[in-house]
């Protein structure tokens, strides 16, 4: 949602009118963008279903069927995922596909048919440490397919996503040439359409908050009192969730590190528990005076703050780009909103 709003703002700033079609789940705050026309669509899926990445094929299919049934809108830009070929025949052909995957990740997705042919997919627990010779330096455990409940549907969905990009008039990436030059070279050999790495979007978009949660500005006031580069900023994004055991490991790691930290714990991000119950009083006593825990933070302002010395992140592409742009080193704990059954 965030990068698509940034891209929409970029396009609007050069003269495009914007119609923004979105689901009601994780809906943007339309009042922050009076220059756009917003069209909400019901998705008929619960929050628990939309939080599981493996449910995305069903999620997208549900949304598109509703779009075709209830709306007279026509699209010139589309976000992949994903307008299926059968849906495109009923609409005026879209022109440009915008991707918020990093190009390296998109290269992996475009290789799914080859990975299936070479028996890397579906993933077997015994293969996790095996090198993927066609995608160095990845190992099988690095592939974005671990824990997907319906691999056949997921692979079909990914194949359609890639085909959409290949048959478009061009692909926009929220990235830049210097960051992913090797992946860029391979994609340009594979794709016969123009590729436009015009990111990071947030640097060229008029400033505005795309967050669906209200940022806690008092976190900035707390950072103002800290020494330069003395604070670890910790957050795991807007969709990922943690089990209490993992939350406690993070908590005691921060406590025992001795560093000051700003930790964002999103409401509902600890499975089945609220923050107060998940964190023991002993931890709170240990970090009193050097830890700030909030529900949400204005991330761009936090990363730009001189007190921030490191960013402990789930490696979401938005967070990764924002941290790179501010020159903040990252501590990486990759977390996706999907079950990692083979790793537990």
DSSP secondary structure string for all residues of 308-342:
EEEEEE---HHHHHHHHHHT--EEE----SS--GG
pLDDT digits (tens, 9 = 90+) for 273-305: 777 778 889 999 999 999 999 999 999 999 999
Q: If you average pLDDT over residues 71-95, what whole number do you get?
A: 49
pLDDT digits (tens, 9 = 90+) for 145-167: 666 667 777 777 778 888 888 88
> Is residue 20 located within the same domain as residue 51?
yes
Instruction: Return the residue matching tokens 């190009």.
Output: 103
User: How high does pLDDT run on average in the chain?
Assistant: 81
> Is residue 302 located within the same domain as residue 176?
no
Last residue of a domain, one of 179, 204, 229: 204
| Helices assigned H by DSSP within 111-232 | 112-117, 151-166, 181-190, 201-204, 218-223
Q: Which of 152, 149, 129, 150 is nearest to 140 (CA)?
A: 129
**pLDDT of residue 46 exceeding 70:** no
**Residue span of the structural domain in which 173 resides:** 2-204
pLDDT value at residue 162? 86
Structural domain total, the chain: 2
**148: helix, coil or strand?**
coil
> Is residue 50 located within the same domain as residue 87?
yes
> Is residue 237 located within the same domain as residue 272?
yes
> Is residue 100 located within the same domain as residue 184?
yes
Q: Report how far residue 8's alpha carbon sits from residue 292's, in angstroms, rounded to the nearest whole number.
A: 34
> Is residue 189 located within the same domain as residue 259?
no
Q: If you average pLDDT over residues 47-69, what whole number do you get?
A: 54
Contact 174, 200 (CB under 8 A): yes
- Residue 211 is assigned to a structural domain of this protein: no
> Is residue 100 located within the same domain as residue 233?
no
């Amino acid at each position: 949602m965030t990068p698509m709003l940034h891209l929409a703002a970029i396009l609007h700033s050069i003269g495009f009118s914007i119609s923004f079609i979105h689901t009601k789940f994780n809906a943007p705050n339309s009042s922050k963008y009076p220059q756009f026309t917003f069209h909400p669509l019901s998705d008929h899926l619960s929050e628990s279903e939309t939080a599981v990445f493996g449910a995305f094929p069903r999620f997208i299919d549900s949304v598109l069927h509703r779009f075709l049934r209830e709306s007279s809108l026509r699209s010139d830009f589309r976000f992949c995922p994903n307008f299926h070929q059968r849906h495109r025949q009923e609409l005026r052909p879209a022109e440009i596909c915008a991707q918020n995957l990093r190009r390296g990740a998109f290269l992996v997705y475009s290789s799914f048919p080859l990975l299936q042919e070479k028996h890397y997919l579906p993933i077997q627990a015994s293969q996790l440490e095996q090198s993927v010779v066609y995608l160095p330096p990845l190992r099988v455990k690095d592939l974005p397919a671990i824990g997907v409940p319906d691999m056949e549907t997921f692979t079909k969905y990914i194949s359609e996503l890639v085909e959409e990009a290949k048959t478009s008039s061009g692909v926009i990436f929220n990235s830049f040439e210097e960051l992913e030059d090797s992946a860029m070279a391979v994609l340009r050999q594979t794709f016969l359409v123009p590729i436009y790495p015009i990111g990071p979007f947030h640097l060229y978009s008029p400033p505005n908050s795309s967050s669906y949660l209200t940022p806690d500005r008092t976190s900035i006031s707390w950072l103002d009192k800290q020494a330069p580069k003395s604070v670890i900023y910790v957050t795991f994004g807007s969709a990922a969730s943690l089990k209490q055991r993992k939350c406690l490991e993070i908590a005691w790691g921060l406590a025992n590190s001795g560093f000051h930290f700003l930790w964002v714990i999103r409401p509902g991000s600890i499975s089945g528990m609220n923050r107060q119950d998940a964190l023991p009083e002993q931890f709170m006593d240990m970090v009193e005076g050097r830890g700030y825990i909030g529900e949400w933070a204005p991330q761009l302002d936090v990363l730009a703050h001189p007190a921030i010395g490191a960013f402990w992140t789930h490696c979401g592409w938005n967070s990764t780009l924002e941290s790179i742009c501010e020159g903040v080193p990252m501590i990486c704990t990759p977390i996706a909103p999907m079950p990692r059954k083979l790793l537990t």
